[in-house]
Amino acid sequence: GRLVYQDPIDPACLLAQSFSTTFSFSILTNGSYGTCGSGMAFFISPSREAPNGSIAGGLGLDVYRTEPFSLLNPLPPPPEPFFAVEFDTRLSPAYNDSSHSHIGIDLNSLVSAAAVDTNNVSFPELYLYNNYRFTTWIDYEAATGSIQVRMTNATASNTSAIPDRPSRPILEFRHNI
């Protein structure tokens, strides 16, 4: 599935303006890694469509995965710039993934500029394979290039209301603009 904002974004403005967003989602699995899809991604792009040819582990953003990736054959830059926060449920060595349950900040590449391993014991409530409902906050401050991702396990709060926003981000990155 896909949800696309009605107005395309000018590539020159892609990360030139600050934004904040929050959303909730679930990734439904049978509870063990390797038996579900590849996760999902929140992305901003000048296109209203996922790139032609993007498939499977590319989370709808990698148009070059028509054949297996090789470190000897690096991928060219994407035809359209993009910013994404990936909620990845597949360990893809070609993208330098840290585990089969991680969150990454992607800038024009599925090799994350920054990532956090939610398979780590520090984040058991954010393990992407337990059929939890998560709420995520993504903030970008254009003046400083600061990208922050906050996330909470909404299932644990046992309420349909939006849970409280965590005071500290689980992932942050400063993008040189």
CA distances from 143 to 46, 60, 169 (A): 21, 29, 19
Amino acid at the residue 145: G
- Using alpha carbons only, how large is the chain's radius of gyration in Å? 16
> CA of 170: how far to CAs of 24, 85, 115, in Å?
16, 12, 9
Could you tell me the two tokens for 132? 């939890």
pLDDT of the residue at 63: 46
pLDDT reported for residue 150: 96
pLDDT at 51: 55
In the chain (177 residues long), the average pLDDT of successive 10-residue segments reads 63 78 84 64 73 54 49 54 83 80 86 89 80 91 94 77 87 85
| CA–CA dist 98, 170 (Å, integer) | 15
pLDDT at 13: 73
